[in-house]
Structures are given as structure tokens and as C-alpha cells.
């Protein structure tokens, strides 16, 4: 099929729920192939120039360095513990002829070694996202790593010391790599497959390839492993979703382009970038585009070390679901109590991951297979968290799912009230919400999935958009902050018109929505809905309270996302590393988190469908309840 480029002018499309598209727009529609077969049209637009300050990119230049033991990448970083050979901008040819470029860090010898691939478009050197952009570097000290690592990826200095090769590609369309930059899906999975097979054939490879990294680098692992590359021997998904529509872009059916738009702004390419934020607000049902953004978990049979947390607003559900649905006989789950970046770079966790890869990429008999299949954390703000408790499975087989019923006086009770009752709020009021609490009469652990079953009615609108949250309160009803000073919540979302549940995918405790049609509300209609609340592990002490809040959804603020690109980072102009005290030419890059390619094309959060008044019905004929997973 002949590729045609269609310029999208303001008069050609209507984005009533997103930003206006001016006559000078860079937005285009391009044919996009799914599973190398059917083509659909997908929006693309221009991102940052590869030379933009915010992109913090590097010149395309194929060269080889010997990074010497004791040298440093930047002031304050960890000195290299060994000599490292860096092959920069190595071309990798994909099956369709596209050339991408990778930086390869390997031991200074002529032996064959296993490799770890860090797959993302963030930039293989410093790039548009960096820990220095995150407040307090997410708790990761500057000297915890060498500075050679890709954002969210494995530190070459650590891994090369132990005989591994680190491969950092700029994926299709990223920076100087050919093609258009794409998000996950079948095309990206094929690209990863091809790169793995290319790496396995190199003279420095032992033929065993693994994948590692956080977030985008984890999501990529689910997708690429789902295509079953022959030489992919093990993966380590460290927090990442598996279903793009349901878990991030349109969670609960509510289109939310705020986070995708903020991430899009950090991408740099010589070509175009998949306009995923625009797809969020224009493709609001589960169509072919979004089906292609679901990982093929059923195909994953290789060893997997999965790491999750209860507090990641993007990845929590997908990480647990990924662990549950992959078909690997050798799979492990560890649930931590901090944040993904901090946890990934903790020395004890790097050593733990090394044991896993040593077993499956080097063939070492090191006892890894005796590692407990599940190691859980249970959060306990105000007290001491439980960490690395050994379990056999997740969800826990000994879980007792109990119902707490909504009742009058804003309470949750253990039985359904006899009389019909209701509470309401106006969506444009100062407090558009209703809160219900339950006080525990004994110490209780709640670990697993929660579900809220409600009966709802809207006055003044034919739809509702709801945000629900569960939080631990002290005995006097106040939120209990964690060590960072923030209260911990577990959340759920729903656009009521997309309330239909997919019975094949759902469980009694985790409703999965179909999202293939809308059922708008009729005046006076009361409908039952099920709202999935993401997994949580929380200890409640006698007298402490559980708070359930139901409120009108409001789009998040862009200010909640780290100001990526802000940090100014100084590295050598030439030579890549240097010795402390050595006189070398330096360059400082970054320092701009406002630079965007085409501000007029930014996709804004759509207007909420909430209007008028929301009514929650409970008691009597309207059984409304919160299901909680009580661990015995």
C-alpha cells in the first residue's frame, strides 16, 4: 500500500474535547500496521528537535572508547569499578530496513557474555528524562550509580563488572534512529525481537539476552517477550502496565491525556512521533488501535523476576496482572514499599537481580530457584511496614473477601441496612464528594484487590465520571502520612456509560470493563456499577479507620508530573569519562522544561461529562458495598 501523508487542518477534524489544531499544525495521519497485517490510521506529530536543549541529546558519531577503571562520567557519580568498552551509535538493522542506533557497554576482553537490553525512546545517553529532574532524585544518591545508565535502566558499571553487556538502543524514531517514534504495540515488539536476535549473533554475545528496567522499559518487556524472540532468555519487569487503554490512557473509560502529553513533550526525533495523547481523546473506546496496545502475556513462558508496588498511579494494576497471567513456570514476584527508581538502584536489589540473571543467562547453579516465589510488603503508615514477607502466591489464597456496606451517617457497616437511603453532591460545589468510614475493632490486614459496587443516578447529565479512593485514617479520623509526608490511597475510576463488565476477563474481586460501547443514562435511571480499586497491602490497627471517598472526577494537573528537562547536567565534551581533578573540556546540557515542538498542538484534558448532581443509592433494594481483601 502506497504510504500517503495526510495533513490534518483545523477545518478537517473537530477536537471539541482537546486543544485546538491551528492551520500551522504538525499533526498528521499515517497508516499504521497492526501485527504486520491490517493498516489503520494513527495520528502523528512533530516532537522536540534532536538538538533541542530539553532533549539533552548527543551527536550521532560512531566511535569506540575505553572507559578506564576509576574514571567518572560526572562530578559526584560513582567511579567505574573496571575498564569498560563503549561502542557508541552502533547501527542495528530491523526487518523492514529501518536503522536504529545503540550504545553498547561491554567488558574489556574477547570473551562471550550475556546481554541486558534497556528498551525505551528516552535517550541512550542523558536524554529528555533523568533522575536529576525528579525531586531529591527519588531518593537515589548521585553516587549510587555511575551516570552511564539510561533513564530507568541498568547501570553499565555494575553489570559490566560482573561480565554482562548492556545495550541501550534509541528505539525506532528516537533521536537519530530512523523512522517515526512509536509507542508500544506490535511494531515495537517486532523491533525488540529483531534487536534481540541481532545482539545474540554478535561476537561478544553468549547467545543469552535479558531485559531490565523500570516503567517504559518494563512495558516494553511485556510486549517484546510476548513475541517470543528465540534468544530472549529472561526478563525483569520492574513496574509497568500491560493494557494501555484500561490502565493508563482511558482508565475506567475516562480519557486522560495529561500524563501522556507530558511524556510526549520530552521525546526528540528527526521525524514524527505517534500522537498518543490525541489518540486518547479521539479513540475513547476499545478499538483496533487499543487492542494492539495490550501485551500478549499468554505467550510469555521464559523466567521472569517481577517487581511491583501498591503506590504507582500508572503501573500497579498491570504489574500484578502481568505476574498473574504470564505462563512462565519460573516466575517470582517481589512487592516493595518505596518507589520504583529508588528500589531499582538499591544495592541489595541489584545483587538480587544479578543472582536471577546469573542463573538464567550464565547458567550458574547459585540457588536462585530456591528464592521464595512471592515476597510481599504490607504498608503500615504510622507504624512499621512489613517488608519481604514470604508467600506462595498473589492474590493470597487465605484471603477472605468481606463486604462493607454503605449506610446512613456516612458509615460502612458489615451488613446491608434495611431501608433505602441516598446521599448526593453537586459536581460544581466546593466538596463534590461523599465519604464513608469504617472503624476496625481489631488489628486487620487488607492485602489484595478491592471492588466498589455502587448504585448511582445523575441529575442534569446523561453520564457520570467518578473517582473513588480508599485511605487509612487514624483513630481520630485524620490521614496518616507515610515517610514522604503523603497519605497513601488506593484508587478507582469510572465513566458510568462504559460500565459494562467483561465477564471473561474479570474475577469476583477485579472487574475488567469491556469499553466497546457506551450506555448513556436516562433521566431518573439508577444503575449498578462495579469499580475496580487497584491492589493494596495495608495494616489497620484496632481503632484506626478505613475511609472510602466517592467524588466527581476532575482531570489531574500537569504540575503533578516531574519537570523533565529542567536539570542541567555537566559531562565531558569529548572522551565520555574523565578522572577527578583532570583538566577536560566540559559541556552542560538541559535546563529547559518548558520547550515544546509545537505548543498549538498540545492535547489538553477533555472537559468532564459531570454536570448537575450525583446521587448514591444504598441500603434496602440498593445494595452498595466495598469488597475488601482481609488476610487471615
- Report how far residue 588's alpha carbon sits from residue 56's, in angstroms, rounded to the nearest whole number: 9
Q: What is the mean pLDDT of residues 510-535?
A: 98
Residues 331 and 303: beta-carbon distance below 8 Å: yes
- Across the chain, mean pLDDT equals 94
DSSP string, 38-60: EEEEEEEEE-B-TT-TTTT----
Judged against a pLDDT cut of 50, whether residue 570 lies above it is answered with yes
Written as nine digits, the cell of 230 is 528465540
Question: Residues 241-289: pLDDT tens digits?
Answer: 999 999 999 999 999 999 999 999 999 999 999 999 999 999 999 999 9
- Report how far residue 389's alpha carbon sits from residue 334's, in angstroms, rounded to the nearest whole number: 9
Residues 121 and 171: beta-carbon distance below 8 Å: yes
Contacts of 581 by beta carbon, 8 Å cutoff, 6+ apart:
none
Question: Residues 491-503: pLDDT tens digits?
Answer: 999 999 999 999 9
Q: What is the per-residue pLDDT for 97?
A: 97
Residue 413: CB atoms within 10 Å = 17
Question: Residues 310-334: pLDDT tens digits?
Answer: 999 999 999 999 999 999 999 999 9
- Report how far residue 546's alpha carbon sits from residue 438's, in angstroms, rounded to the nearest whole number: 5
pTM of structure: 0.94
Q: What is the per-residue pLDDT for 483?
A: 76
| Residue 505 per-residue DSSP state | T
| Residue 268 per-residue DSSP state | B
Residues 332 and 306: beta-carbon distance below 8 Å: yes
Written as nine digits, the cell of 94 is 530491523
Q: What is the per-residue pLDDT for 24?
A: 62
What percent of the chain is modeled with pLDDT above 90? Answer: 92
Q: What is the per-residue pLDDT for 482?
A: 82
Residues 217 and 119: beta-carbon distance below 8 Å: yes
Q: Which of 480, 489, 503, 507 is nearest to 627 (CA)?
A: 507
Q: What is the per-residue pLDDT for 14?
A: 33
Q: What is the mean pLDDT of residues 441-446?
A: 98
Written as nine digits, the cell of 476 is 481520630
What percent of the chain is modeled with pLDDT above 70? Answer: 96
Q: Which of 450, 133, 97, 444 is nearest to 263 (CA)?
A: 133
Q: What is the per-residue pLDDT for 6?
A: 34
- Report how far residue 398's alpha carbon sits from residue 391's, in angstroms, rounded to the nearest whole number: 11
433: three-class secondary structure by DSSP: strand
- Report how far residue 106's alpha carbon sits from residue 162's, in angstroms, rounded to the nearest whole number: 10
Q: Which of 278, 276, 274, 283 is nearest to 18 (CA)?
A: 278
In this prediction, residue 36 has a pLDDT band, given cuts at 50, 70 and 90, of confident
Q: What is the per-residue pLDDT for 10?
A: 30
Q: What is the mean pLDDT of residues 409-435?
A: 97
Written as nine digits, the cell of 66 is 575505553
620: three-class secondary structure by DSSP: coil
Judged against a pLDDT cut of 50, whether residue 31 lies above it is answered with yes
In this prediction, residue 557 has a pLDDT band, given cuts at 50, 70 and 90, of confident
Give the strand pairing for 545-552 and 433-439.
Answer: antiparallel
Residue 185 zone, left/alpha/beta (φ > 0; ψ -120 to 50; rest): left
Question: Residues 576-590: pLDDT tens digits?
Answer: 999 998 999 999 999
Q: What is the mean pLDDT of residues 554-570?
A: 90
- Report how far residue 140's alpha carbon sits from residue 134's, in angstroms, rounded to the nearest whole number: 10
- Report how far residue 618's alpha carbon sits from residue 548's, in angstroms, rounded to the nearest whole number: 14
Question: Residues 89-102: pLDDT tens digits?
Answer: 999 999 999 999 99
Residue 611: CB atoms within 10 Å = 18
Q: What is the per-residue pLDDT for 15?
A: 34
Written as nine digits, the cell of 443 is 488489628
Residues 208 and 286: beta-carbon distance below 8 Å: no
Question: Residues 48-86: pLDDT tens digits?
Answer: 999 999 999 999 999 999 999 999 999 999 999 999 999
Strand runs labelled E in 124-257: 165-170, 205-214, 232-238
Question: Residues 122-176: pLDDT tens digits?
Answer: 999 999 999 999 999 999 999 999 999 999 999 999 999 999 999 999 999 999 9
Amino acid at each position: 500500500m502506497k504510504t500517503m501523508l495526510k495533513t490534518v487542518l483545523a477545518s478537517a477534524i473537530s477536537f471539541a474535547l482537546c486543544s485546538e489544531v491551528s492551520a500551522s499544525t504538525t499533526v498528521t495521519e499515517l497508516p499504521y500496521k497492526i501485527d504486520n497485517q491490517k493498516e489503520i490510521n494513527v495520528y502523528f506529530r512533530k516532537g522536540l528537535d534532536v538538538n533541542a536543549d530539553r532533549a539533552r541529546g548527543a551527536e550521532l558519531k560512531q566511535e569506540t572508547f575505553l572507559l578506564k577503571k576509576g574514571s567518572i562520567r560526572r562530578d559526584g557519580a560513582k567511579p567505574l569499578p573496571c575498564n569498560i568498552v563503549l561502542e557508541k551509535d552502533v547501527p542495528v538493522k530491523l526487518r523492514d530496513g529501518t536503522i536504529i542506533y545503540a550504545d553498547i557497554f561491554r567488558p574489556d576482553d574477547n570473551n562471550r557474555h550475556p546481554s541486558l537490553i534497556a528498551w525505551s525512546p528516552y535517550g541512550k545517553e542523558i536524554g529528555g528524562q533523568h533522575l536529576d529532574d525528579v525531586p531529591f532524585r527519588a531518593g537515589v544518591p548521585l553516587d549510587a550509580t555511575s551516570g552511564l545508565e539510561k533513564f530507568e535502566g541498568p547501570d553499565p558499571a555494575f553489570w559490566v563488572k560482573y561480565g554482562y553487556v548492556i545495550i541501550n538502543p534509541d528505539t525506532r524514531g528516537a533521536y537519530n534512529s530512523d523512522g517515526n517514534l512509536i509507542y508500544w504495540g506490535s511494531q515495537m515488539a517486532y523491533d525488540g525481537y529483531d534487536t534481540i536476535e541481532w545482539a545474540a549473533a554478535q561476537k561478544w554475545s553468549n547467545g543469552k539476552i535479558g531485559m531490565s528496567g523500570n516503567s517504559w522499559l518494563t512495558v516494553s518487556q511485556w510486549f517484546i517477550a510476548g513475541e517470543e524472540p528465540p534468544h530472549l532468555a529472561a526478563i525483569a519487569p520492574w513496574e509497568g502496565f500491560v493494557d494501555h487503554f484500561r490502565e493508563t490512557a482511558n482508565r475506567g473509560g475516562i480519557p486522560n491525556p495529561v500524563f501522556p502529553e507530558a511524556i510526549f513533550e520530552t521525546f526528540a526525533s528527526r521525524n514524527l512521533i505517534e500522537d498518543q495523547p490525541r489518540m486518547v481523546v479521539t479513540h475513547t473506546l476499545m478499538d483496533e488501535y487499543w487492542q494492539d496496545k495490550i501485551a500478549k502475556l499468554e505467550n510469555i513462558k521464559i523466567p521472569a523476576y517481577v517487581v511491583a508496588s501498591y503506590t504507582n498511579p500508572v503501573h500497579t494494576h498491570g504489574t500484578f496482572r502481568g505476574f498473574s497471567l504470564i505462563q512462565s513456570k519460573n516466575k517470582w514476584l517481589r512487592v516493595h514499599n518505596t518507589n520504583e527508581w529508588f528500589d531499582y538502584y538499591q544495592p541489595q536489589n541489584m545483587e538480587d537481580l544479578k543472582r536471577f540473571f546469573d542463573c538464567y543467562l550464565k547458567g550458574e547453579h547459585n540457588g536462585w530457584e530456591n528464592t521464595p516465589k512471592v515476597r510481599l510488603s504490607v504498608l503500615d503508615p504510622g507504624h512499621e511496614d512489613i517488608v519481604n514477607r514470604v508467600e506462595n502466591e498473589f492474590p493470597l489464597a487465605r484471603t477472605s473477601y468481606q463486604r462493607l456496606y454503605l449506610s446512613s451517617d456516612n458509615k460502612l457497616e458489615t451488613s446491608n441496612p434495611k431501608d433505602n437511603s441516598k446521599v448526593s453532591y453537586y459536581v460544581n460545589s466546593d466538596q463534590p464528594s461523599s465519604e464513608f468510614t469504617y472503624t476496625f475493632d481489631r488489628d486487620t490486614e487488607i492485602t489484595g484487590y478491592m471492588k466498589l459496587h455502587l448504585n448511582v443516578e445523575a441529575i442534569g447529565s446523561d453520564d457520570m465520571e467518578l473517582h473513588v479512593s480508599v485511605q487509612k485514617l487514624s483513630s481520630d479520623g485524620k490521614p496518616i502520612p507515610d515517610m514522604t509526608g503523603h497519605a497513601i490511597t488506593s484508587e478507582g475510576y469510572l465513566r458510568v456509560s462504559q460500565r459494562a463488565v467483561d465477564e471473561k476477563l474479570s474475577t469476583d474481586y477485579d472487574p475488567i470493563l469491556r469499553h466497546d460501547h457506551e450506555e448513556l443514562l436516562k433521566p431518573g435511571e439508577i444503575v449498578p456499577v462495579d469499580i475496580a480499586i487497584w491492589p493494596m497491602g495495608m495494616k489497620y490497627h484496632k481503632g484506626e479507620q478505613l475511609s472510602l471517598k466517592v467524588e466527581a472526577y476532575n482531570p489531574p494537573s500537569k504540575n503533578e508530573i516531574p519537570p523533565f528537562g529542567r536539570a542541567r547536567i555537566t559531562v565531558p565534551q569529548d572522551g565520555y569519562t574523565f578522572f577527578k581533578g583532570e583538566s577536560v573540556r566540559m559541556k552542560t546540557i538541559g535546563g529547559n522544561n518548558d520547550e515544546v515542538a509545537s505548543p498549538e498542538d498540545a492535547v489538553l484534558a477533555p472537559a468532564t461529562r459531570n454536570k448537575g448532581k450525583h446521587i448514591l443509592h444504598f441500603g434496602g433494594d440498593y445494595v452498595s458495598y466495598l469488597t475488601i481483601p482481609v488476610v487471615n
